[in-house]
Amino acid sequence: MRSGSINPLIADGQIIGAIAQGLGIALLEEAAFDPETGQPMATSYLDYVIPLSEDVPDITIEHHVTPSPIITGGFKGVGESGIQPPPATVGNAVANAVPEIAAGLTATPLSPSRIWTLLEDAGLEG
């Protein structure tokens, strides 16, 4: 590794962590509030589910280095790039698999109970 360059293993860790966060947004995490009091309904991680390391699939990362021409050292941000694709990817996968509920896929998380409700509403429950 050259002096002044970013360690690719650290960049990989940031990307994988961001993908895990994106999967949490897509499938698990919901900031629910009591509609009357406005108080958060999650008081611990038993109520607010986040992805664990075993929930994240194996990820292969390839680096394509394109230094910034306007920043000294050519550095760019990397960690936030992984958080944005998972919610859209999961939503599109569900919409593709079950087009009858695609119009109802308007919020995350796409939890089992939310998907089941959409299936029931579409008359597709098992």
Residue 78's contacts (CB-CB under 8 Å, 6 or more residues apart) are 6, 11, 14, 15
Q: Which of 54, 80, 120, 125 is catalytic?
A: 80
pLDDT (0 to 100) of residue 126: 63
- Tokens linked to 46: 């038993």
Residue for token pair 């629910």: 32
Residue type, 99: P
Q: Which domains does the chain have, with CATH numbers?
A: 8-121 (3.30.365.10)
Residue type, 125: E
Distances (CA, A) of 102 to 28, 30, 79, 95: 19, 20, 30, 4
Active site residue 80: yes
H or E element, residue 20: helix 8-27
pLDDT per residue rounded down to tens, the chain (126 residues): 454 577 888 889 999 999 999 999 999 998 889 999 999 998 888 888 889 999 999 999 888 888 889 988 888 888 788 899 999 999 999 999 999 999 999 999 999 999 999 999 999 976
Rounded Cα gap, residues 41 and 30, in angstroms = 10
pLDDT (0 to 100) of residue 1: 47
